[in-house]
Amino acid sequence: MKEIIEYLELIKDSIALKDDKLLAEQLERIKELDINNDVVHIVTLIDRNKYNLGSILIDKIILDEREIETLRSEQKTLDDTLHFLNKEKNELLQKIDIFNSSYYKELGSLVQETLKVKRVLFKMQINNSRSEDTDTLELLLAETNDDYRQFIYLLKEEESKQPPVLTKVEKLILKDTYTEAMKLCHPDMIVPYLRNNVEEIFDELNSAYITHDLKKVKKIKARVTSSSHGKNSSEYKRVSKDEFHQNIIDIKKRIGQKKVEVAYLYHNETYQRIQKETQDGDYFGRTKKLLEVELDSLNEKLEIQTDTEYAWMQVLWNWAEQENIVDFPKNKEELMEIVSLDISHKNLDELPEEIGMLSSLTNLNASHNQLIDLPKSLTHLKKLICLNLEHNNIRKLSKNIGKIVSLEVLNLENNSLIRVPNSICNLVHLTQLKLSHNKLTKLPESISNLENLRGLFLKGNNLSS
C-alpha cells in the first residue's frame, strides 16, 4: 500500500502541475500494481478527465492511510506491551515453581512432621481441657487439619511431577530452544491468526520448560517457526480502520487482565519468600532451623500434655480404687473408649471433675448414692444419652445441665430438688424426664418446649395446679 500511496501523490502533483505526460506515466505504472476498488475508481475518474473529484478521493485515501498507520503504530506498541507482560508472567511462574520444588525437597518432611504434631497436640489439649469453652482450640485444630491436608496434597503433587533427568547438553538445548521460541512468539514474528492465541502458546511453552519436556518445547518452536513472518514481518496485510480499532480494544483488555495476573504473582506469598531470600540469603537454611526449633517446642508441649492426660486418668483410677469401684477400666484405651459407667450403690458423696474427660460416655448411672451436687465437667460429655441420678441428695441443679444437649433420659427421682432451671428447655432430645419424689413447687414454663418429651414423671411433689 505504501507504494500505491506514493504513486497517488505523484498523480495528484501531476494534476496540479498540469503535466499530462507525467500524469500518463504515473497512471500506467499504478495500473500495473495490485490495486483495490477505491484506487481503480480514482484511476477511472482521471482517465475521464475528472481531475477535481479524483484529487479529492486521493486526499481521502491518503488521510485514511495516515490514520491507519497511526492505528497500526498504536497496535504495535500494545502488542509489544502484551508480549513483555507474557514474558514477565512466565518468568515469575518459573521462579515460583523452582522455589516450590526446592521448598518441598528441602523442608517438606519437616513441615509435614510439624503439622502432624500440632494436630495431635490440639486434640490432646481439647480432650484434657476442663474449661467449658474449647471453641478456640477446636478452631485451631480445624485450621491445622486443613493446612495439613492441603500441604500433603501439594507435596504429593510436587513429588508426582518427577521431570525427566537431562544431560548438561540437553539442558543447554532446552534453554536455547525455549528462548528462541519465546522470541518467535513476538507479534512482529507470529502470523495474525495465531496472535490471539499467543498467551496460550506462552503458557504451554512455559509448562513444557518447567517440566523439562525438551520434545514438547521443540515441537512448539517448530510450530511458531513455520508460522512466523521472519524478515517480512514489516509487511502487513490490508486491515480496515474498524478492524484496527477492534484489535486495539481487544489487546487493551488482554493487557489489563495480564497486568492483574502479574501483580497477583508479585504479591504471591511464595514470591515474597523468594524476595526475602534474595535480600537476606539462605532462606532454606534459616527456615529449617526455625522449623526445627518449633518442632522441638511442640514435642515438649506434647510430652507435657501426655503427662497431663495420664494425670487425669490417674486421678480417676485412684478415685475408683478408693471408692472400691472394682469394674472400673484399668488401662488407658478402655478408659478412653468407655461407653457405659455404673457407679450406683457406692455411697458416693461427690463425683470427681475428671469424670467429664470420658468423652465416649453415653450412659452414666450414679443412682443410690449421697450426691449433693454434680461436677461442672458433666457438660463435656457431648455423647451422653442417659443420666440416672435417682436416690441421691441433690438439692439444686446448675443451669449448665442444659448444655448436655444429647440427653434423652434424665432421672432425678427421690432427690431434694426445690426447682428445675429454665435451661432444661435446651435438652431438645429429651424423651424421659423423671422428677418424682422431690420438693418441687413449680416447673419452668419452658418445659413445654420439649417437643420430643414422651414421659414426664412428677409424682410426690408439692406442685400447684
- pLDDT at residue 13, rounded to an integer: 81
**Domains of the chain, each with CATH number or no CATH:** 2-49 (no CATH), 84-280 (no CATH), 324-457 (3.80.10.10)
Q: Do residues 434 and 407 touch, judged by C-beta distance below 8 A?
A: no
Q: Do residues 211 and 161 touch, judged by C-beta distance below 8 A?
A: yes
Those residues with Cβ within 8 angstroms of residue 208's Cβ, 6 or more apart along the chain or in another chain: 216, 217, 220
Angle formed by the axes of helices 168-184 and 198-210, nearest 10°: 170
Cα of 400 vs its chain's centroid, Å: 39
pLDDT tier, 236 (very low <50, low <70, confident <90, very high otherwise): very low
Render pLDDT for 304-359 as a digit per residue (tens, 0 to 9): 777 776 788 888 999 999 999 988 998 888 998 999 999 999 999 999 998 998 98
SS3 338: coil
pLDDT tier, 394 (very low <50, low <70, confident <90, very high otherwise): very high
pLDDT tier, 385 (very low <50, low <70, confident <90, very high otherwise): very high
353/355 Cα distance (integer angstroms): 5
Burial code (b: 16+ CB inside 10 Å, e: under 16) for 339-377 equals eebebbeeebeebbebbbbbeebbbbbbbbbebeebbeb
- pLDDT at residue 133, rounded to an integer: 62
96/257 Cα distance (integer angstroms): 20
Mean pLDDT of the region 229-234: 44
SS3 322: helix
Render pLDDT for 107-166 as a digit per residue (tens, 0 to 9): 999 999 999 999 988 887 877 665 556 788 889 999 999 999 999 998 888 888 777 788
3-class SS shares of the chain: helix, strand, coil, % to 5: 65, 5, 30
Specify the length of the chain in residues.
465
pTM: 0.52
C-alpha cell, 101: 520444588
For the ranges 122-136, 214-228, 431-445, the one whose mean pLDDT is highest: 431-445
Return phi, psi of residue 190, to 5°. Answer: -100, 145
Return phi, psi of residue 455, to 5°. Answer: -140, 120
340/329 Cα distance (integer angstroms): 11
Average pLDDT for the chain: 86
The rounded radius of gyration (Å) of the Cα atoms in the chain is 43
Examine the pLDDT at 232 and tell me if it is beyond 70: no
- pLDDT at residue 178, rounded to an integer: 83
Sign of CA dihedral 164, 167, 168, 169: negative
- pLDDT at residue 191, rounded to an integer: 61
What DSSP letter does each residue of 169-199 carry, written as one string?
A: HHHHHHHHHHHHHHHHTSTTTB-HHHHTTHH
Bigger pLDDT: 111 vs 195: 111
Pairing of strands 363-365, 340-342: parallel
| Alpha helix positions (H), 267-282 | 269-280
Q: Do residues 144 and 119 touch, judged by C-beta distance below 8 A?
A: yes
Those residues with Cβ within 8 angstroms of residue 58's Cβ, 6 or more apart along the chain or in another chain: 8, 9, 11, 12, 42
Render pLDDT for 61-88 as a digit per residue (tens, 0 to 9): 888 888 888 998 998 899 889 888 988 9
pLDDT tier, 33 (very low <50, low <70, confident <90, very high otherwise): confident
- pLDDT at residue 150, rounded to an integer: 93
Half-sphere exposure for 47 (CA within 13 Å, toward CB):
10
Those residues with Cβ within 8 angstroms of residue 226's Cβ, 6 or more apart along the chain or in another chain: none
